[in-house]
């Protein structure tokens, strides 16, 4: 084939692919920030679509969606919030699914500060305990469930430093404004290990399972990128990233 003709054909194919590519506005729960960014990089490379993401507490994102924010896909940190959107007719029927099951940890930026049984809570020798707002963040709600089941909520309540999202709770601990705090495992875990500091992996029986659902919102119903993203989350690359960040995959 003539080289000039080949170049013209290749240029045409590239143009066609770019013409089919779309961008999608995505609302992402704060605990899912790092893994979502990793998935987004692979997704954009593999599909040509572009993701535009906003990160925040699940409750805050829910309020924005209800007030008409232009999100097309929502990755929540729970199941109840997407279910409410579904019941209100704000999502594409049948698009909701559980993409990951999160884990809660008690973490300190200081090596050796948190023991692997969580006894540091009972000893009560610290000044500040960070957690996310339980009204807006499912991981904050899980933290209060843990303290309730350990019968420590009342004794420690005066030491709470409450963030509006799990990201803010992590920031309180990482900057030393709280000696320790309840954060998402995904925030301090990568490639099979804790990245820094010391941690207590909170036993599953101390809090309700943090099943995290995603769905396509009505605004994204006819967006190819939105549908492609949901399909991608079911694939092996996304699964490998989720596992690397300490999530459990739903069956």
Asked if 96 and 214 sit in the same domain, the reply is yes
List beta partners, residue 90: none
Q: Are strands 50-56 and 23-29 parallel, antiparallel or unpaired?
A: parallel
Asked if 143 and 87 sit in the same domain, the reply is no
pLDDT of residue 200: 98
How far is Cα 249 from Cα 251, in angstroms, rounded to an integer? Answer: 6
Asked if 97 and 108 sit in the same domain, the reply is no
Q: For the chain, what is the domain count?
A: 2
pLDDT of residue 2: 47
- Would you state the torsion angle of the CA atoms of residues 115, 118, 119, 124, taken in this order, to the nearest 10 degrees? 100
pLDDT of residue 60: 95
Classify residue 249: in a domain, yes or no. no
pLDDT of residue 239: 97
Q: Are strands 73-75 and 210-216 parallel, antiparallel or unpaired?
A: antiparallel
Asked if 60 and 111 sit in the same domain, the reply is no
- Residue 247: DSSP 8-state: P
Asked if 151 and 109 sit in the same domain, the reply is yes
pLDDT of residue 175: 96
pLDDT of residue 31: 95
* Residue written as token pair 């040509």: 48
Give the CA angle between residues 144, 246, 30 to the nearest 5°: 55
How far is Cα 216 from Cα 167, in angstroms, rounded to an integer? Answer: 24
Asked if 180 and 221 sit in the same domain, the reply is no
**Nearest one of 98, 19, 74 to 219, comparing CA atoms:** 74
Determine contact, residues 13/5, Cβ cutoff 8 Å: no
Domain with 43 in it: 3-101+210-244
Asked if 173 and 218 sit in the same domain, the reply is no
Asked if 118 and 164 sit in the same domain, the reply is yes
Determine contact, residues 108/179, Cβ cutoff 8 Å: yes
**Nearest one of 221, 244, 197, 186 to 95, comparing CA atoms:** 221
* Helix/strand/coil (H/E/C) assignment for every residue in 29-53: EHHHHHHHHHHHHHHHHHHCCEEEE
How far is Cα 181 from Cα 156, in angstroms, rounded to an integer? Answer: 12
pLDDT by residue for the chain (251 residues), tens only, comes to 444 443 333 333 333 344 468 999 999 999 999 999 999 999 999 999 999 999 999 999 999 999 999 999 999 999 999 999 999 999 999 999 999 999 999 999 999 999 999 999 999 999 999 999 999 999 999 999 999 999 999 999 999 999 999 999 999 999 999 999 999 999 999 888 889 999 999 999 999 999 999 999 999 999 999 999 999 999 999 999 999 999 999 98
Asked if 119 and 67 sit in the same domain, the reply is no
Q: How far is CA 234 from CA 52, 82, 157, 199, 251, in A?
A: 20, 18, 40, 30, 11
Asked if 19 and 76 sit in the same domain, the reply is yes
Classify residue 51: in a domain, yes or no. yes
Asked if 178 and 225 sit in the same domain, the reply is no
Q: How far is CA 77 from CA 6, 83, 190, 212, 225, in A?
A: 49, 12, 19, 5, 22
Rounded CA Rg of the chain: 21
Provide the CATH number for the domain around residue 24: 3.40.190.10
**φ, ψ for residue 111, nearest 5 deg:** -60, 135
pLDDT of residue 20: 63
pLDDT of residue 7: 35
Classify residue 251: in a domain, yes or no. no
How far is Cα 174 from Cα 112, in angstroms, rounded to an integer? Answer: 15
Asked if 126 and 165 sit in the same domain, the reply is yes
């Amino acid at each position: 084939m003539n080289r000039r003709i080949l170049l013209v054909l290749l240029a045409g194919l590239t143009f066609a692919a770019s013409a089919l590519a779309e961008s999608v506005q995505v609302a992402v729960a704060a605990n899912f920030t790092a893994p979502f960014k990793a998935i987004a990089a692979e997704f954009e490379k593999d599909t040509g679509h572009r993701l535009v993401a906003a990160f925040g507490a699940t409750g805050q994102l829910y309020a924005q969606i209800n007030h008409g924010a232009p999100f097309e896909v929502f990755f929540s940190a729970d199941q109840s919030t997407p279910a409410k959107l579904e019941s209100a007719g704000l999502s594409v029927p049948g698009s909701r699914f559980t993409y990951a099951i999160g884990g809660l940890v008690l973490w300190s930026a200081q090596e050796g500060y948190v023991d692997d049984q969580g006894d540091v809570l009972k000893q009560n020798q610290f000044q500040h305990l960070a957690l996310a707002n339980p009204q807006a963040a499912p991981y904050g709600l899980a933290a209060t469930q843990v303290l309730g089941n350990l019968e420590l909520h009342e004794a420690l309540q005066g030491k709470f430093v409450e963030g509006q999202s799990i990201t803010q709770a992590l920031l309180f601990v990482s900057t030393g404004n709280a000696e320790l705090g309840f954060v998402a495992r995904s925030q301090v875990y990568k490639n099979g290990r804790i990245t820094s500091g010391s941690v207590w992996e909170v036993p599953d029986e101390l809090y309700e399972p943090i099943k995290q659902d995603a769905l396509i919102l009505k605004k994204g119903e006819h967006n190819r990128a939105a549908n492609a993203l949901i399909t991608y989350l079911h694939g092996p690359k996304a699964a490998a990233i989720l596992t690397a960040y300490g999530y459990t995959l739903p069956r």
